[in-house]
Amino acid sequence: MHIFESRFLRRGEVWFDQKPDPTTVDWICFRQCPNRLPGGKWKPFYTLLVNLENSPEALLESFNKSVRSKIRRARDGDKVVCERVMPVTKDILNTFAHVYKMFTAVKGLGSLDLSRLEQFSKEGCLDVSIARSPEGTILVYHVYYRNARRSR
């Protein structure tokens, strides 16, 4: 369970099908919980589940034809290179936050909780991937939460 402290509250956050630990908190937020919990609010959600233990070829074949075509075009035609950033440093997160802020200004999305991402990074459950042009320019960031069994 992740613990987030504000000025007045201590909040726990539990992801996927994990169970909360006995840490005392004021309230617990369950993220992507697959089942309704007694006494709690619950919203159903739709998600694709992809088995990442398969070979790259099998993984690619599990996508529909349109997605496979776009991946191949980016990789082979545009020469886009994707990489996982390790370690996820504060500098990487600050650069991502800057790009995200520009993106949200155009799209009208909510703001980014950078301190939350920093905590996830320190706890080892935040991954960052980037796609680069052949010249090395970062085209896009992908930031996601993960645990031992799942990622979002």
150 is a domain residue: no
Residues 111 and 85 in one domain: yes
Give the tokens for residue 67. 């997605």
112 belongs to a structural domain: yes
In the chain, where does DSSP find H-type helix? 56-61, 65-72, 90-107, 114-122
> Do 70 and 14 share a structural domain?
no
Q: With DSSP H G I counted as helix, E B as strand and the rest as coil, what are the percentages for the chain, rounded to 5?
A: 30, 25, 45
Could you list the residue range(s) of the whole structural domain that residue 66 is in?
Answer: 51-77
- Whether residue 140 sits in one domain with residue 90: yes
* % of the chain exceeding 70 in pLDDT: 100
Task: Please give the share of the chain, as a percent, with pLDDT higher than 90.
Answer: 58
53-80 pLDDT, tens per residue? 889 999 999 999 999 999 999 999 999 9
Helix (H, G, I), strand (E, B) or coil at 42: coil
128 plus 85 within the same structural domain: yes
Residue 133 DSSP class: -
